[in-house]
Amino acid sequence: MKEYLFILGRDHELSILEIIAYFEKNKLNYSMKGFTVSAAVIAIDGEFDSVISIKQLGGIVKIGEIISDVRDYIYEGTDNKVKFGVSPYEVEDISDIEQEIKSMFKEQKLKGIYKKTKREGGPLMPNEVIKQKLVEEGVEFLVYRNYLAKTLAAFNPFDHEKRDEQMPCKDYLKTISIRLAKILINLSQAKKTLLDPFCGYGVILQEGMLMGLDVKGIDQDKTSIDSAKTNLRFIEKKYNLKVSYKVIHGDSTQLSKIIQNADAIATEPFLGPYIKEMPTIQEAQKTMAKLEPMYDAVIKEAKKVVKGKIAIVVPRFPTIQNVEVVMRFSQIIKKYGYKPWRPIELIGMPVIYPHGRIVREIWVIEPET
């Protein structure tokens, strides 16, 4: 088994669960050697394509192959110059490693061109690795605790930015981030058909198509449905995809009357009206009282349509009284025969995603039997 280093995104628990779900779906034989807030060390048996994986995983920053010594790096270029970087994670002093790298280059009669991050003492950011072409034309060494790795793939933020700019229909108040969309899809472990009952402008559906999934979307807002259709046609043509997509104008609380089946659900439902100022407890409770029956109805209906997992976002409202108003989602899922997915004892449900005015709870649930 080869050992790999996965540099995790800002929500490390979510990243770990995503990795586990991704490996389970793709039937990869792996062993989790350990993880912290920064990285995970994972042994993988068999073929593993880090370049494809980094494009599909939303919560992973870099993937590297663990090596025992910097001298395990063999330069394959045609001239005697090589760009290199050194990125520390949970390591205070990398001067010894830097010296070893310089000595290694000297032994190979190479001139090392050191590319450092603009952030003093920190690791190279993914955009810096991509701009410098360190994976294709040089090398980045990852130093994590007692581990040393060579970067095989790094998240490319420019791909997301370019695709976002080209998308025909955009409304940032109604769309989920591409990163979170990928995470939810992977957590759902959809194998062939993915359903998003609150598809909006179709971001989750787009990412599902790019992962090779047939997708189905529902939304009760006609403008969103029309926009989703336009966006999915764009994605289909731009990437020459051979998957199917279907978007339907309808009410997802009547899900079983609209859709017959799907492998899994990945969705961010309506989370309430846009919040300009932090609400009072009473205001937050009023909003939650309107949202909870919708969630209840959708989970009830989903049980009739979907046999697999559901990855869903649930709102949690901070208030000016410093008290959070929380949905009784655990009671809802229990009522309809679901249980939280918990593949690792150290991480339970829900995982908190605290970015934005509304705190998001990320739930992954599965049928009890």
- Same domain assignment for residues 104 and 21: yes
Query: What CATH number does residue 258 fall under?
Result: 3.40.50.150
Boundary residue ending a domain (103, 136, 155): 155
What pTM does this model have? 0.95
Number of neighbouring beta carbons within 10 Å of residue 86: 23
User: How do residues 145-193 score in pLDDT, each as one tens digit?
Assistant: 999 999 999 999 999 888 888 899 988 777 899 999 999 999 999 999 9
Q: Give the residue among 84, 71, 148, 157 at the shortest CA–CA distance from 116.
A: 84
Q: According to the 3-state scheme, what is the secondary structure of the chain? A: CEEEEEEECCCHHHHHHHHHHHHHHCCCEEEEEEECCCEEEEEEECCCCHHHHHHHCCCEEEEEEEECCHHHCCCCCCCCEEEEEEEEECCCCCHHHHHHHHHHHHHCCCEEEECCCCCCCCCCCHHHHHHHCHHHHEEEEEEECCEEEEEEEECCHHHHHHHHHHCCCCCCCCCCCHHHHHHHHHHHCCCCEEEECCCCCCHHHHHHHHCCCEEEEEECCHHHHHHHHHHHHHHHHHCCCCCCEEEEECCHHHHHHCCCCECEEEECCCCCCCCCCCCCHHHHHHHHHHHHHHHHHHHHHHHHHECCCEEEEEEEECCCCCCCEECCHHHHHHHCCEEECCCCCCCCCCEEECCCCCEEEEEEEEECC
Read off the pLDDT of each residue in 347-365 and give the average, rounded to a whole number.
Answer: 93
pLDDT of residue 364: 98
Sorted by sequence, the CB contacts under 8 Å of residue 190 that are 6+ apart come out as: 25, 208, 213, 262, 263, 264, 266, 308
- Same domain assignment for residues 216 and 97: no
Question: What total number of domains does the chain contain?
Answer: 2
- Same domain assignment for residues 237 and 120: no
Q: How confident is the model at residue 322 (pLDDT cuts 50, 70, 90)?
A: very high
- Same domain assignment for residues 166 and 300: yes
- Same domain assignment for residues 329 and 261: yes
Give the separation between CA 367 and CA 338, rounded to whole angstroms. 4
- Same domain assignment for residues 257 and 130: no
- Same domain assignment for residues 251 and 139: no
Q: How confident is the model at residue 72 (pLDDT cuts 50, 70, 90)?
A: confident
pLDDT of residue 163: 87
- Same domain assignment for residues 253 and 187: yes
Region of poorest pLDDT, from 32-36, 121-125, 305-309:
121-125
Q: How confident is the model at residue 34 (pLDDT cuts 50, 70, 90)?
A: very high
pLDDT of residue 348: 95
- Same domain assignment for residues 216 and 323: yes
- Same domain assignment for residues 119 and 239: no
B/e letters for 218-236, b = 16+ CB within 10 Å, e = fewer, are bbbbeebbebbbebbebbb
- Same domain assignment for residues 276 and 173: yes
Query: What CATH number does residue 132 fall under?
Result: 3.30.2130
Read off the pLDDT of each residue in 299-311 and give the average, rounded to a whole number.
Answer: 96
Q: Is the pLDDT of residue 334 over 90?
A: yes
Which residues make beta-bridge pairs with 43?
3, 31
Q: How confident is the model at residue 254 (pLDDT cuts 50, 70, 90)?
A: very high
Boundary residue ending a domain (93, 124, 155): 155
Give the separation between CA 249 and CA 262, rounded to whole angstroms. 17
Classify residue 237 as exposed, middle or buried by CB count within 10 Å of its CB (0-12, 13-18, 19+): exposed
Boundary residue ending a domain (98, 120, 155): 155
Residues in the chain: 369
Q: Give the residue among 11, 7, 15 at the shortest CA–CA distance from 122.
A: 7
- Same domain assignment for residues 133 and 194: no
User: How do residues 94-118 score in pLDDT, each as one tens digit?
Assistant: 999 999 999 998 888 889 899 999 8
- Provide the domain limits for residue 269: 160-367
